[in-house]
Amino acid sequence: MKKNHFYLLLVALTVSLYSCKKDNNNNYDVPTTYSFSNVDYSGQTYRLAMLTELSTEMKKGNTQGTVVDAQVLRNMYANTGNPFSNDTLNTSGKKLKDKTFTTEQSVIEGYLDTHAWASTSPVAGSNGSAGVVQVGTAKYLFDENGREYTQLVEKGLFGSLIYYQIAAVYLGTDKMGTQVALADRQHHWDEAFGYFGVPTDFPSNITGIKFIGKYCNDRNALLGTNVAIMNAYLKGRAALNNGDETTVAEQINIIRENIEKVLAGTAIHYINEALANIANDAVRNHTLSEGIAFARALKFSPTKKITDAQQSQIETYFGSNFYTVSTTDLQAAKNLLSTIYGFDSIKDQL
């Protein structure tokens, strides 16, 4: 009987050790999954689902002759007029627009309008003419300069909404400072986690990862960002619960720094893709639209490594017309990003 009792205690201890790990420097446990009490980031889940539907609607324009309605796109961005197929989103009271960095809201709406206009083109896309460009199985709707607004909107909102809300808003001093009530700080931390777009047991589980979480996983083999970011979310929330302000501040910096690395590494990834497909109008323009949007996303952290002047220079290298961009300029953009973020040893593999 005593042996059985000892065995049960051993099993219980093993389960406890598996689900939590002791912080090395402080006397409190850090769970191995995002399993804290009173967690709620439903608003972030709604907005990520809204962005998914908006992107899907825009991609209808990739079929020549399919006209996309600008008002429908604007309604989805502002969540007005019941625009979503999922009625839970329509009645959620959440919007993409009001969480977008203020000066970028009109930029996004301009992109939506231009995308809808391009979809009315009666001809195939080419240098100087908006329309669908198809090379092999790849086909995308571009404006006359080869810009794909589906990517400029989706990846643009990675920066001006998702990354901005994580790095500058929810982990900023107005919502995470010690002057804020603990329950509110805990909720703000959870909301920052919600925008990461991963399950609570990431990275052992990557089912359903989306947006920044997906690209974090894509770059993980070279950048090691999966564990770094997830552990920072876990350790920071545990530190917050236990009044460990030093560790909270440290984990905020880790989250910001590593998401910035994901964005920069992904910008380089798409430059590499464009360089490898420089003669393919469809793939080159598509990947450059993604690449420039990721490069622009870098500016939305209050602790960003890149300067405004460097970012402006990178956009200059991308040029105003993706049909005529030079490999020399793309290589220069890649090299500048690589130098800023210390990626020289892996820049060709990203």
For CA atoms 170, 174, 177, 183, the dihedral sign is: negative
Look at residue 29 and give its three-state secondary structure: strand
pLDDT at 252: 98
pLDDT at 27: 86
pLDDT at 100: 98
Residues of the chain with pLDDT below 50 are 1-19
Largest Cα–Cα separation, the chain: 84
pLDDT at 26: 73
Q: Which alpha helices (DSSP H) does the chain contain, by range?
A: 2-19, 42-59, 70-78, 87-90, 105-118, 149-157, 173-176, 182-194, 212-223, 225-241, 245-276, 281-297, 308-318, 327-341
Taking the alpha carbons at both ends of the chain, their separation in whole angstroms is 59
Using CB atoms within 10 A of its CB, is residue 77 exposed (0-12), middle (13-18) or buried (19+)?
buried
pLDDT at 20: 58
| Cα–Cα distance, 196 to 279 (Å, whole number) | 35
pLDDT at 21: 57
Q: What is the pLDDT of residues 16-52, one digit of tens each?
A: 333 455 555 678 999 999 999 999 999 999 999 999 9
Domain ranges of the chain: 23-350
| Cα–Cα distance, 234 to 305 (Å, whole number) | 24
